[in-house]
Amino acid sequence: MKYRRLTKEQFEELHQEFINFLATQSITADEWMDIKKNKPEVAEQELDVFSDLVWLGVLDKVKYLEHISPQQIHLFECQEKGMRLIALRIENEAIDFTTKEGFQWLRDNLLSDSVEFFNAKKDYSEDKHLDIFKMIESGANITKGELFNYFANLVKG
């Protein structure tokens, strides 16, 4: 398996898609029950293949990621050959960007010297999707890019 098996909840959400996946392999509901009961290793393989297919579909559509921690914000734009990063950092541990108050502090003090901005680009390894997956697994969230684009416009200006 290349990524990670979907959770029980994710499988439940994708129940119909999993049925369709089994159907593409000419596996009926009765056959699936038989496989689960008598060939659990084959059932595990099917779950893993389906999970990888779902992840690949998701990862292929990712355009923006963000990772917000108490004193840092990392915003990523996933481009064709690499990622663009805009990062913000503060030294003041009394401020927590993960709270509403901390984010309001950032808005009010954005241009102060206490907020450091970083801008960088990084090429993907041989596997763009795996690079993105690893970032998600380490806490990054897929977004529509509103924060990234807001700060990208500030950095330009």
CB 129 within 8 A of CB 60: yes
pLDDT tens per residue, range 75-110:
999 999 999 999 999 988 899 999 999 989 998 988
Tell me, yes or no, if the pTM score tops 0.95.
Answer: no
154 to each of 34, 54, 84, 96, how far by Cα in Å? Answer: 59, 36, 15, 22
- Counted residue by residue, the chain has a size of 157
pLDDT given at position 49: 95
> How do the domains of the chain map onto residue ranges?
8-61, 64-156
Local structure of residue 62 (DSSP, 8 states): -
pLDDT given at position 90: 92
pLDDT given at position 154: 80
pLDDT given at position 44: 94
Local structure of residue 37 (DSSP, 8 states): H
| pLDDT beneath 50, residues of the chain | none
Classified as helix, coil or strand, 77 is strand
